[in-house]
Amino acid sequence: MDLILHHYDASPFSEKVRIVFGMTGQAWSSVITPNMMPKPDLTPLTGGYRRAPVLQAGADVYCDSMAILDELQRRTPLAGDRGLAGLRGIGLWADRLFFQATVPVIFGEMGHLTPKAFIADREKLSGRPFDVEAMAQAAGPMRIQWRGHASWLDYALGDAPFLAGDRPGLADASAWMNIWWLKGALPDTYDRLTVGLDRLEAWRRRMADIGHGVRKEITGAEALAIAKSVRPADPPAHDPNDALGLSPGDAVVVMADDYGRDPIAGTLVAARHSRLILAQETPDLGRLHLHFPRVGYVALSGQS
């Protein structure tokens, strides 16, 4: 079954997944989604989840890069995913703390170029003002924080080519998205903030050479037709020790705990320590299995 990534080129969280395709050298199909709502070829697949990226394997849909990386690692394990570099918490540091420093550094400098519709969309997504002026003011102190995060990477690399040693893994991919985003958006600022971080720079070049595997463009309509034409794969077993006491068949609502908290309702297929799988019976696409991470998401018993 072809893997289909719903993403857009400028999306840092999507870049994290694209570079994992590069690490495994695999072929994948690309569907470009808009960078703001509406996303008519995406939300029918995801039960309303709107963030990028989303991975589709037939009628199985993986929402959030954490669930996507987990699934890619299950399919094609990477050698560089062990020891401390196998700790998914590194991904959460990169997604939240490091990312929260990258956003004001970038928008503090470029915010005045941001289209009004994009600002309005992001205000709706976060439930907070997208205040370009405030970001410009915060950019100074946040640059110092950004350099601090980057220096952690430089230190962690030591003399090794990648975080786990000789081979790249998911921790490299997670950290990479912030480096890739700032270097691409504001190369001069990036160069200033990484002066002297030579191991980081050598790693950045190595990472940039990894590429994205073998990418083929398809349309959103083609991806929807694929979802419609197949049934979901057999799911993994449910964990009977699930901490919420959920059971297969329960009506469940899942939502992110940070931003983009649209509630996604469905019927529980399986709850595991790292993943929650919901089924939705949709009139247009038939049965879909939606996969969400546990960390970073809240699941509640609800009405499907």
Ligand X SMILES: N[C@@H](CCC(=O)N[C@@H](CS)C(=O)NCC(=O)O)C(=O)O
> Which CB, 70 or 95, lies closer to ligand X?
95
Stretch that binds ligand X, among 9-17, 79-87, 135-143, 186-194 (CB under 6 A): 9-17
Q: Is 41 in the site for ligand X (CB under 6 A)?
A: no
Specify the pairing of strand 27-32 against strand 4-7: parallel
State the number of CA atoms in the 13 A half-sphere of 150 facing the CB: 30
Q: Which stretch binds ligand X (CB under 6 A): 61-69, 161-169, 223-231, 265-273?
A: 61-69
Residue 46 found at the interface with ligand X (CB under 6 A): no
Under the binding rule (CB under 6 A), the answer on residue 57 touching ligand X is no
Q: Which two tokens stand for residue 80?
A: 């560089």
Q: Measured from the CB of residue 161, what is the shortest distance to ligand X in angstroms? A: 25
CB burial class (10 A; 0-12, 13-18, 19+) of residue 14? Answer: buried
Separation CA 65–CA 52 (nearest Å): 8
Residue 50 or 291 having the CB closest to ligand X = 50
Shortest separation between residue 95's beta carbon and ligand X, angstroms: 5
Query: Among 45-53, 79-87, 105-113, 157-165, which window interacts with ligand X (CB under 6 A)?
Result: 45-53
Which parts of 111-130 interact with ligand X (CB under 6 A)? 125
Q: Exposed, middle or buried: residue 235 (CB in 10 Å: 0-12, 13-18, 19+)?
A: middle
The least CB distance from residue 12 to ligand X, in Å, is: 5
Q: Is the dihedral of CA 162, 168, 172, 178 positive or negative?
A: positive
Site for ligand X in 11-40 (CB under 6 A): 11-13, 35-36
Closer residue to ligand X (CB): 174 or 280: 174
Closest contact distance (angstroms) between CB of 227 and ligand X is 19
- Give which of 64, 48, 3, 124 is closest to 291, Cα–Cα: 64
Q: Are 47 and 56 in contact (CB under 8 A)?
A: no
Structure token pair of residue 47: 């039960």
Nearer to ligand X (CB atom), residue 35 or residue 282 = 35
Question: CA 67 to CA 57: how far, in whole Å?
Answer: 13
Can you give the binding site for ligand X, defined by CB under 6 A? 11-13, 35-36, 50-52, 64-66, 95, 125
